Amino acid sequence: MVQSDVKERITSKEALEQIESDIKELKQKEPKLFELLKASEVNLEEVRTLIHDGVDVNCVNSDGCTPLLYLAKKKYLRIPFRTRWSN
């Protein structure tokens, strides 16, 4: 948001540096998301907090799995998959 007082405004370079810093910080939280999902009892509040904080829900782990795919492989999801080929 643009500050009305010129002295309080930041430069484009400073804005870019802040954005890059924020992205780096969020990237560092991605492994925490997968660590939470590994638990036998997933702490959904902590997961929600990470997502609310801006962690990318489409991030991938070292196996190339997104959090949703990881949970599906873990069989944590109890949502029946239906395809148009299912009976």
Q: What pTM did the predictor assign?
A: 0.65
Query: What residues contact residue 59 under an 8 Å CB cut-off, 6+ apart?
Result: 27, 30, 33, 66, 67
Residue 83: predicted pLDDT = 55
Profile the chain (87 residues) by mean pLDDT over runs of 10 residues: 74 92 90 90 91 93 91 68 53
Residue 9: predicted pLDDT = 86
Q: Where are the domains of the chain?
A: 13-74
**Displacement of CA 25 from its chain's centroid (Å):** 11
Q: Write b or e for each residue in 49-81: b if 16 or more Cβ atoms lie within 10 A of its Cβ, otherwise e.
A: ebeeeebbeebebeeebebeebeeeeeeeeeee
DSSP 3-state of 31: helix
